Structure 1
Amino acid sequence: MKIIHLPWALFGLTFLLFSQLLLAEDSDSNVEYKIKAGYLYNFTKFVTWPEDNSQTFNLCILGTDPFGSLIDPIEKRSAFGRPIKLFRFEDLNAFRQSALSGHEAPSNNQQCHILFIDASLDNNFSIKNVFAGRDGDRTLTVGQNEGFARRGGMIGFVQRQGKIKLQINMNALKYSHLTISAKLLEVAELVEGQGND
């Protein structure tokens, strides 16, 4: 008969319970970012961008990428008859140096059609600062902090009663070249935040 010492048994039980909590939190996070990735894709069905010469529809992530590989399958989809292409920028310098931030690319004019700004940056961001004088009014800016839309972002993900909801900044959209569907406006919380003028 084996004798199991009580401290080791309690340690093992605690470890099992703690690891289950970690897995539960991880799966909750995965679910959250799968939902947000789904929203980012579905924005292409409810927002209209002006015509441009891009060969791809570009979804850019600025800051720490909270999606990881969860968002990668979006590149198997298309928007407006063009394949979706993901671009990741760790910081503003990398973003500003890319052709996607508004510079003329050699073969065509590239742009970020959707720019997701991670919470690691959006606490102290200003949309004007992100684009630094470049034309950002053709880019749908999306963030995930409570005050994102009020500070000039177009769409912010917010938590409401355990669910992910949308805040839409009507002033920022008013000064953009984007057209947003009334259906999307119906399901969002509309805020009068700073504009992007």
Structure 2
Amino acid sequence: MRSDVTGIRAFSRTHFAVVTAVIAIMLTAAVSLPAAEQRVRGEYEVKAALLYNFLKFVEWPPSKAAGAEIRVCVVGDLSRARSVAELDNQRVAGRRLAVERADLQDVRGCDVLFLLRGEEQLLPKILEAVRGGSTLTIGEADGLGRRGVIINFLIVRNRVRFEINAAAARDAGIMISSKLMKLAGPGNGSTAGGD
């Protein structure tokens, strides 16, 4: 009988160790998940503020600038970029922002197209779809500026930076203020495709 009690006690110790380990993992995940979510939320708050301010320094051709609204299309999971979605109905230069999630077939006619991280494989088709449409393309992955996106967000030393592809802007018929171009200088990303 003594061996049964010892077996139960041994099982209890093992069980206790496993339960303790599982609880520790759950607590660690519970603490780190909100921190990770907070970091992503903070990153998109900065990107949304930058996007809003970029629009003050961008000029579309007269045919595109005449509209009452600026159609901002987001390709990817808009719930991840809630801060961008919250720009909906804000005003820039007298025009209302209309933020919407878009699929590849919906991108023609967008004034601004924000390609979220994880959707980079769609870039060639998106650039083809918006060609000639004076669409300000914005991305957020390394190398997208060189691949034809006009403004590309980068994370450099845990800070949101951006680069501007001046050649892509010219090709799209979009004028970007020299003030904004200077901000994309050496301390804040690189100006890809510039003069």
Shorter-normalised TM range:
0.7 to 0.9
Equivalence for 1:162: 158
Output aligned runs, 1:72-83, within 5 Å.
72-83=85-96
Q: The residue matched to 1:129 in structure 2 has which SS?
A: helix
Q: Which amino acid aligns with 1:162?
A: N
Segments of structure 2 that go 5 or more residues without pairing to the other structure are 1-15, 185-189
Could you give the per-residue CA deviations for residues 40-90 of structure 1, whole angstroms, max 9, x where no partner exists?
11111111223344221111112333644332321241022121111211x
SS of structure 2 residue aligned to 1:57: strand
Spell out the pairing of 1:45-84 with structure 2 (5 A cutoff): 45-51=56-62, 52-65=65-78, 67-84=80-97
Query: Could you say which residue in structure 2 is the equivalent of 1:153?
Result: 149
Of the candidates 79, 104, 111, which is equivalent to residue 92 of structure 1? 104
Mean Cα displacement is larger for which, 59-68 or 43-52? Answer: 59-68
Q: In the alignment, residue 104 of structure 2 is paired with which amino acid?
A: L
1:157 counterpart SS class:
strand
Based on CA coordinates, which of the two structures has the bigger radius of gyration?
2
Task: Give the unaligned 5+ runs of structure 1.
Answer: 102-110
In structure 2, the CA distance between the partners of 1:68 and 1:170, relative to structure 1 (3 Å rule), is: closer
Aligned partners of 1:124, 1:60: CA distance in 2, in Å?
Answer: 14
Displacement after TM superposition at 1:149 (Å) = 0.9
Alpha-carbon offset, residue 10 of structure 1: 4.1
- Give the 5 Å matches for 1:113-132: 113-126=111-124, 127-131=126-130
Alignment coverage as a number of residue pairs = 172
TM-score (ref. length: structure 1): 0.77
Task: Report the 3-state secondary structure (helix = DSSP H, G, I; strand = E; otherwise coil) of the residue aligned with 2:61.
Answer: coil
Cα distance in 1 for residues equivalent to 2:81 and 2:152 = 20
Q: Distance in 1 between matches of 2:36 and 2:88?
A: 27
Amino acid in the other structure paired with 1:92: L
Map of 1:104 onto structure 2: none
**CA-to-partner distance for each residue in 1:11-51, whole Å, 9 max, x for gaps?**
32332122101111111111111111111111111112233
RMSD, aligned CA:
2.3
Aligned partners of 2:60, 2:116: CA distance in 1, in Å?
Answer: 22
Alignment partners' CA distance in 2, 1:71 and 1:159: 17
Shift of 1:6: 4.9
- State percent identity of aligned pairs: 28
Offset, 1:177? 2.0
More helix by share: 2
1:161 aligned partner, one-letter code = R
